[in-house]
Structure 1
């Protein structure tokens, strides 16, 4: 891991940054996932709807964190990551806190900022998250932060290639 150079910083997202943050999520999908162009195009089309949902969550007291790249030469490339945690709405949630969104563009991966973003989003609290099965980079990152797969799994829609998300958890009594 490269040491942090001051290039990246984390801040709470302002309302006007939610739409650019949704674009970051769509770009992160393209960079990180093995889906088809049709899936990525649909994700691009959902950017506005995602931003509106996030704005509503923000108005209800939710926090969205964004990673800012101080070396970005183009304003549209200034945001390079986002995170959001929330009280889980899963009926069988192993912890109340869910890391709901966590995306970082390739330009920031390996810089150490992901560790700081996770700390900002959930601290050291017991939490759970869903991650694409087979996404070894993400799974390894979460394992380094004390998460372990607990057997929970969600099949993704068929157009995502018959893949599943797996649930990872940290800080439950079962893990002690």
Structure 2
């Protein structure tokens, strides 16, 4: 990912939220999401990324169509964490998200991802790619409304999901 990609990544992330979280988070919050402000935020994240943080984009027909960000797990468990994976809603179910996920996952390492528990398509996507819930839950509040998240984990080869 390059700084020049940040505006398009912001558009994809805002569209992704509006598509995936309709009915799960307050609509006024989704309506207020601003791709211009989000682009500034993405530029700051990209240029200030710490060690081990990887930002990747996927392109379709020469245009950025997806973004993923992976880095060190923020929890006490060893491994990495997939901080974000968004694909332009017009490109859902085309294999682009799967390709982006496969490209960013570190080989032989446990990977964690937090998913809004009501986002059934995302839960199915991660399950399809070897992730499973490990029982961890986290409160996430949007405009005063609790939106529960669950943690999915893809264990490193040879490690059981409950380990």
Q: Give the match for residue 88 of structure 1.
A: 73
RMSD after superposition: 2.3
Unaligned runs of 5+ in 1: 1-12, 72-77
State the distance in 1 between where 2:54 and 2:31 align: 27
**TM superposition shift of 1:41:** 4.1
**TM superposition shift of 1:118:** 0.5
Residues 147-176 of structure 1: CA deviation (Å, up to 9, x unaligned): 111111111115263211110011153427
**TM superposition shift of 1:25:** 0.8
Unaligned runs of 5+ in 2: none
Contact 1:22 1:51 in 2 (8 A): no
Residues 28-57 of structure 1: CA deviation (Å, up to 9, x unaligned): 111111233431244326402233122211
* Residues matched between the structures, number: 155
Q: TM-score, structure 2 length as denominator?
A: 0.82
Q: Where in structure 2 are the equivalents of 1:12-23 lying within 5 Å?
A: 13-23=1-11
1:118 aligns with 2:106: no
Q: TM-score, structure 1 length as denominator?
A: 0.77
Q: Give the match for residue 117 of structure 2.
A: 133
Contact 1:129 1:168 in 2 (8 A): yes
Q: Give the match for residue 146 of structure 1.
A: 130
